Copies of this chain bind each other. A is one copy, B any other.
């Protein structure tokens, strides 16, 4: 998934505001669903970020940059998944995070059904 850096993404430093890299990761997660005809939220369930295990801000992106976001499923548990999300500018890694998402049903952590588990398996590395 590719995104462009606009005015709204930058701050007074001239570079991207740090929390926005997490927004870009969320966009990429949503696009995983959309590109498979699914949605990350519906009347029954949605996902929340439960934990950022670690996030590294390696380089600064700037206005006009085109960034690519790569999402890998590291682990699938019953009611949560662990993702590695990496943001690259061409071949340069500028941001990397490991994130735990929890699956909620009616606002309570809840086991994913087998269809959802199969979906996430698509993004596991061999």
A10 touches B8 (CB 8 A): no
A53 touches B51 (CB 8 A): no
A108 to B60 alpha-carbon distance, docked (Å): 12
Of the stretches A17-25, A67-75, A85-93, A109-117, the one at the interface is A17-25
Residue of B nearest to A102 (CB): B57
Size of the chain A interface, CB-CB below 8 angstroms:
38
Tallying the copies of this chain within the complex gives 4
Name A12's contact: one of B23, B34, B54, B63 (CB within 8 Å): B63
Q: Which residues of B contact A48 (CB under 8 A)?
A: 13, 18, 57, 60
* Given A17-B7, A27-B6: A41 in contact with B55 (beta carbons within 8 A): no
8 A-B pairs with least C-beta separation: A10-B12, A52-B55, A19-B22, A18-B49, A19-B19, A7-B11, A6-B27, A8-B23
